[in-house]
Amino acid sequence: MPRLHFEEREMNLPEGATLIAALGPDFTTRTALDGRPRGPLCGMGECFECRVKIDGREVLACMTPAEDGMDVRRA
């Protein structure tokens, strides 16, 4: 079971889960022009709304499997 850090939270995730599935439906990475939060849109790597940084490298959370020890932050 992978254990990672998402900003200030420590999380245990199911084996084989993508980051977006593990972070849940309330996860947001962007804000709209009017300031409202924007969440992931497509879930298949086309929209780039779920970009996060893992150990300083930008990736798509919907396409990235959770791995033990990751340090995940909003991009």
For the chain, domains (ranges, CATH) are: 3-74 (3.10.20.740)
Q: Which secondary structure element, helix H or strand E, spans residue 66, and what is its range?
A: none
- Measured over the CA atoms of residue 65, residue 68, residue 70 and residue 74, the dihedral's sign is positive
d(CA 45, CA 12): 24
**Could you read off the pLDDT tens digit of each residue along the chain, which spans 75 residues?**
788 888 888 988 888 888 888 777 777 878 889 999 887 778 788 888 888 999 889 999 999 998 999 999 988
Pairing of strands 71-74, 3-6: parallel
Structure tokens at 20: 């977006």
Helix (H, G, I), strand (E, B) or coil at 14: coil
Kindly report whether the global pTM for this prediction surpasses the value 0.85.
no
